[in-house]
Amino acid sequence: MSDVAQEKVNISTASRPSEAVDVLIPEVDNYVAYTLKTQKVLPPVQWSNLLNELNWISFVVLTLPPAVGVVGAFYVRLQWQTAVWSVAYYFLTGLGITAGYHRLWAHRAYNASLPLQYLLALLGAGSIQGSIKWWCRNHRAHHRYTDTDLDPYSAHRGFWYSHIGWMLIKHRRKPGAADVSDLRHNFVVRWQHKHYFSLILIMAFILPTLVAYLAWGDAKGGFIYAGVIRLVFVHHSTFCVNSLAHWLGETPFDDKHTSRDHLVTALLTIGEGYHNFHHQFPMDYRNAIKWYQYDPTKWTIWIMSQVGLASHLKVFPDNEVRKGQLTMELKSLRRMQEKLAWPSDSDDLPVISWESFTSQAERRPLLLISGFIHDVSNFIEEHPGGEYLLRKYVGKDATTAFFGGVYDHSNAAHNLLAMNRVGVLRGGSPHSLTDKRGVPPSQRLRVARYTELLTTGSSSAYSDEENDSL
């Protein structure tokens, strides 16, 4: 049934609180802290108890197909028709997970017609990754408790644990509570869950074998390549979303959690590799937002909407997406900014009288520009306009000459000059603050933290106690 129909069912059953959520959440302020403190944890897995702690059903499902596939590939020749069919069926069953289990049922990113729901449920069963309800329950817990101990496949437990280990070993603690009441009221989900074992045999092995046998007489190849080996690739393609997508790539939208964006992961996961975007905006039917980014799952959902099989494709407001991108860009600029050397602030420089300035200028080349006293000893011989011009203004106010009277200097010259500040002329700063000449171009746009913006007070070049030493 469609999501709209699901909403009607949920409303009609709202009076039955016992069916509201998968696991009742205790009435506490901090559920995560409370659960981590009170929940019983199984002892660590060691060699002595490994056999007892293995999840044997998952162990067989995840280890037997690779073994059968390797052995079978030695004895069964791969025909080109079977190779094409295997790749095609890989994408079809993969889409059952990405477009079905993940974006439709786990995140409700769009509405699907009843025929499309049945098709996705069947294809998802062909991937042998558990029923829709089981898969979505864990995935919703993963999003709600990302990178915590209540995350069933937390990336903080290590790459291989989040990739496959969490299915092979019994959970040391129960995953956090997740609401799957909407799925328990979905007829297609209930139908798949009820007939799941029959469906996986048909969709994972019988169907790909029959297609190859009836179409070009290659039953063995259909079973080995389109059935078994294809299943192994679909498994690890999906598993990469839990492991590789939290390890490889960049964080262009948010760096609070481990999710990352990378083209390689997208290529391996049928478009699920733009995972940083997905964790920030999980209800969006897209993973890739740029037209050139690889996301066949998004394209499939869009095509289904164009032919009337899908509707209500959810898209997060572009304005909010851009805020996330801007935040990360500013963080990157802030890190770059903190690596650079900046001129001394007026509060950190001694305040010098005019008499002291002119006196000291007799011993070394000091120039007054915009109320700041600059020592140009290390630059006077490198000055592009010649040493003569600088020496002409030693011990004088060169503000007008510097700002266009002799030459309208570049921003780079302004920035370099500011690095040679050694003092502030008493009474000279107010003039510079009025026309902002005292602020070098590199400092007119700075990335500031929120706490810095809240800081009260202003920078002042005036001091009650004059210090005549530069």
* CATH code of the domain containing 405: 3.10.120.10
**Residue where one domain finishes, among candidates 293, 327, 361:** 327
In this prediction, residue 405 has a pLDDT band, given cuts at 50, 70 and 90, of: confident
Which residues share a beta bridge with 368?
373, 397
Helix then strand count (H, E) for the chain reads 25, 6
Tally of domains in the chain: 2
Task: Count other Cβ atoms within 10 Å, centred on residue 53.
Answer: 16
User: Averaged over 440-457, what is the pLDDT?
Assistant: 73
> Are residues 449 and 415 part of one domain?
yes
Question: What strands lie across the sheet with 372-375, from one edge to the other?
Answer: 351-352, 421-425, 372-375, 366-369
| Average pLDDT rounded to a whole number, residues 447-457 | 69
339 found inside a domain: no
Residue 404 has pLDDT above 90, yes or no: no
- Give Rg (Cα) of the chain: 33
Last residue of a domain, one of 327, 362, 380: 327
Structure token pair of residue 285:
């039917």
The mean pLDDT of 234-259, rounded to a whole number, is: 96
pLDDT value at position 305? 97
Q: Say if residue 84 is in the same domain as residue 130.
A: yes
Q: Does residue 333 form part of some domain?
A: no
- Cα–Cα distance, 219 to 205 (Å, whole number): 11
Per-residue pLDDT, 463: 36
How far, in Å, CA of 101 to CA of 139, rounded? 9
Can you tell me the distance from the alpha carbon of 79 to that of 164, in angstroms, rounded to the nearest whole number? Answer: 31
The helix/strand/coil state of 6 is helix
- Return mean pLDDT, the chain: 88
Is 298 within a domain? yes
Chain centroid to Cα 102, Å, comes to 17
Longest CA pairwise span in the chain (Å): 103
Query: Do 200 and 127 belong to one domain?
Result: yes
70 shares its domain with 8: yes
The boundaries of the domain holding residue 383 are: 346-454
Write out the two tokens for 412.
């780079």
Average pLDDT over residues 22-32: 73
- The answer as to whether 76 is a domain residue is yes
351: in domain: yes
Taking the C-alpha atoms of residue 254 and residue 192, their distance in angstroms, rounded to an integer, is 36
